Amino acid sequence: MSPNSSPHSPSASSPVSPDSPADNPLLRAWSGRFATPPFADIRPEHFAPAFEAAFAAHEAEIAAIAADPAAPTFANTIAALERSGALLERVSDLFFVLAGAASTEALLEIERDISPRLATHWSAIQMNQGLFRRIAALHHDAASLGLDAEQRRVLERYAVDFRRAGAGLDEDDRRRLAEIVERLAELGTDFSQNVLANEQSAVVELGPDDLAGLPGHVVAAARAAAQERGRDGHLVTMSRSSVEPFLALSPRRDLREKAWRAFVARGDQDGATDNKPIIAETVKLRAEQARLLGYDTYARYQIDDNMAKTPDAARDLLEKVWQPALARARADRDALQDLVRADGGNFALAPWDWRYYAEKLRKVRCDLAEGEIEAYLPLDRMIEAAFDTAQRLFGLAFTPRTDVTAWHEDVRVWEVKRRDGHPVGLFFGDYFARASKRSGAWMTSLRDQDRLDGETRPLIVNIMNFNKGEAGAPTLLSFDDARTLFHEFGHALHGLLSDVTYPRIAGTNVETDFVELPSQLYEHWLERPEVLSRFARHHVTGEPMPDALINKLVAARTFNQGFTTVEFVASALVDLDFHSLAWVEDLDPASFEAEALERIGMPAEIAMRHRPPHFQHVFADSDYAAAYYSYMWSEVLDADAFQAFEETGDVFSPEVAERLMKYVYSAGASRAPDEAYKAFRGRLPSEEALLRRRGLVDEVVSLR
Closest CA to 94 of 447, 473, 592: 447
Spatial CB neighbours of 690, under 8 Å, sequence gap ≥ 6: 321, 632, 635, 636, 639
Spatial CB neighbours of 307, under 8 Å, sequence gap ≥ 6: 511, 513, 514, 633, 673, 674
Pick the catalytic residue: 61, 199, 370, 488?
A: 488
Determine whether 409 is an active site residue: no
Neighbours of 70 (CB within 10 A): 9
Q: Which helix (H) or strand (E) holds 468?
A: none
Half-sphere exposure of 253 (CA within 13 A, CB side): 13
Cα–Cα dist 306/672, whole Å: 10
DSSP one-letter string for 628-661: TTHHHHHHHHHHHHHHHHHTTT-TT-HHHHHHHI
Whole-number CA gyration radius for the chain: 25
Backbone angles phi, psi at 608, to 5 degrees: -60, 145
Spatial CB neighbours of 115, under 8 Å, sequence gap ≥ 6: 185, 186, 188, 189
Three-state SS sequence of 49-74 = HHHHHHHHHHHHHHHHHHCCCCCCCH
Spatial CB neighbours of 153, under 8 Å, sequence gap ≥ 6: 505, 669, 670, 671
Cα–Cα dist 216/319, whole Å: 41
For residues 329 and 606, is the Cβ–Cβ distance under 8 A? yes
Cα–Cα dist 490/507, whole Å: 12
- Amino acid making up residue 141: D
N-term to C-term CA, the chain: 50
Three-state SS sequence of 197-227 = HHHHHCCEEECHHHHCCCCHHHHHHHHHHHH
Q: Active-site residues: which are they?
A: 488
